Structure 1
């Protein structure tokens, strides 16, 4: 039988784990022709998330877990899960039950039809403020206009990935990750399914607006150089305007003379040009910082234990190797 891995990044999710497990078991019982692995990636949780996962594994050997050495963030937790997942296909699922496990059978059906990436698109987003919805919509519009790859709007990480998609993603080892864009970048045969996203079953979201803004910057700088080009074009346009204005001032002074005046206009021009320069330097610095981080070539993460076994950093790299089928 084919094996399906359910990859679940978890950070301080003690309140939802039992409910999540019960719903997953119900789904598994409805499709008995497959083997299942539920792979939790504990991303440095400070509550009882890890002890609960260990307890679930004692009662059900389909449960596996990777305990990271500290909190590395969800994006890194997902690539760690892909490194350790053993299934012929991997389904990425949030622990908070906003993404319903009951969609898993439909995803598997489309996978069996030949699709490599079956992604769930949100038809509605319950429990989210209008500010979050509107800013998300504006971000996707900006990203779609500035990048050359197709961007899936209103989609998260909830999707089924065929093994060849998993192996493709495992080869992308950049430290500052925007996995939603990577799903689009690798290509392959994709299928969209619609669903109504539920509010969190319990607990509080780990994504505040500062983290969301940071993720948006990661998305833009990871998949497009448009901000650099925009700053260059804007600077060039301002330079042309300033050069023409300079010629006009010189000609006016030579022909008609000019008294000393214009302090407000001079200060306005200086402040405007200074702001443009600082903005451009900031954009360049953002890309330069990404280059700096990538050149260090540090491992993306370290694992404290895998299924109650201590992991050695010197052998951990073997998990990253591409499997052949």
Structure 2
């Protein structure tokens, strides 16, 4: 099999759904075994209605629609689970990376790699977004010693079985998990352009929370810092240094919160997503009713 699934995450994309479908098909129609898999992450606009219309007109369009907004990690988990082809490319609906660049990823995979990341050349995002992204990657590599493919983006081509292996680990960052499993990966330069419409759906608060998931999910260095705080507290207590003792006490409170965050990660977690609607056969465990049909409620008896 040499087919390709194009995984398109959608959250309140509106008319951009049609634009994405048109451009993707114009570029990739020559691929015989091609499917476009839209994953609707609980949109509240007409994104799902537009996807339904596309699916009715084009048998290559498949879709999943979540019961609510679960986030991009859930979108990837669902998309890779239900991808029907041996290779899957993740392509955002905003098309900031043109569909023509997918061929560059495919050329990289032909060299024997499991995963090919697109590295955006002359990235066309707001300056604060670019600085924040660069700072996050620098902190991950330098401060927390997390191995990550340098310059990798969410525009990527993955061998579908490998992607399933990674997403089933339920780790918060796909690209940070790639080196952990030893997947063969590489990087290719891709062009980048302004969004065709609207603004990015990824807000600063979510980016910050996602960053904490990266730091605490892949690094033990914060816990190692707690040992230093404990040692300093012991020294301050022995020497009777009140100011130092107060500072260490404040650090201890922060340490308790940090340990609590690690412990929270060990708690049982609910499924990554639930699907409300799809034109694909679903696993029972991925639906709220576990595959049971919905019977009509009892009706009022006739008088």
- Do the structures match in fold with TM over 0.5? yes
Counterpart check, 1:155 vs 2:130: no
* Match of residue 99 from structure 1: 97
Task: Tell me how far apart the structure 2 counterparts of residues 171 and 2 of structure 1 sit (CA, whole Å).
Answer: 24
* Match of residue 301 from structure 2: none
Q: After TM superposition, which residue ranges in structure 1, 4 or more long, deviate above 6 angstroms?
A: none
1:1-325 correspondence to structure 2 within 5 Å:
2-29=2-29, 32-129=30-127, 131-146=128-143, 150-173=147-170, 177-243=172-238, 245-246=239-240, 266=242, 268-269=243-244, 271-292=246-267, 295-296=268-269, 298-307=270-279, 311=282, 313-314=284-285
Q: Which deviates further from its counterpart, 207-216 or 145-154?
A: 145-154
Q: Secondary structure at the match of 2:153?
A: strand
* Match of residue 291 from structure 2: none
Q: Is the 8 A contact 1:11 1:44 kept in 2?
A: yes
**Gaps (5+ residues) in structure 2?**
289-303
Compute the displacement of 1:242 (Å): 4.2
Q: Is the 8 A contact 1:66 1:307 kept in 2?
A: yes
The 3 A distance-change label for structure 1 pair 235 and 315 is: closer
The 3 A distance-change label for structure 1 pair 12 and 42 is: same
Q: Is the 8 A contact 2:11 2:47 kept in 1?
A: yes
Q: Is the 8 A contact 1:123 1:196 kept in 2?
A: yes
Compute the displacement of 1:100 (Å): 2.0
Q: Is the 8 A contact 1:121 1:156 kept in 2?
A: yes
Task: Tell me how far apart the structure 2 counterparts of residues 125 and 103 of structure 1 sit (CA, whole Å).
Answer: 14
Compute the displacement of 1:51 (Å): 0.5
Q: Secondary structure at the match of 2:68?
A: coil
Task: Tell me how far apart the structure 2 counterparts of residues 157 and 183 of structure 1 sit (CA, whole Å).
Answer: 13
The 3 A distance-change label for structure 1 pair 153 and 37 is: same
Compute the displacement of 1:82 (Å): 0.7
Q: Secondary structure at the match of 1:132?
A: helix
Compute the displacement of 1:153 (Å): 3.0
Task: Tell me how far apart the structure 2 counterparts of residues 143 and 315 of structure 1 sit (CA, whole Å).
Answer: 33
Q: Is the 8 A contact 1:92 1:160 kept in 2?
A: yes
TM-score, normalised with respect to structure 2: 0.87
Q: Secondary structure at the match of 1:67?
A: strand
Q: Is the 8 A contact 1:97 1:200 kept in 2?
A: yes
Compute the displacement of 1:118 (Å): 0.8
Compute the displacement of 1:106 (Å): 1.7
TM-score, normalised with respect to structure 1: 0.81
Task: Tell me how far apart the structure 1 counterparts of residues 219 and 286 of structure 2 sit (CA, whole Å).
Answer: 35
RMSD of the alignment, in Å?
2.3
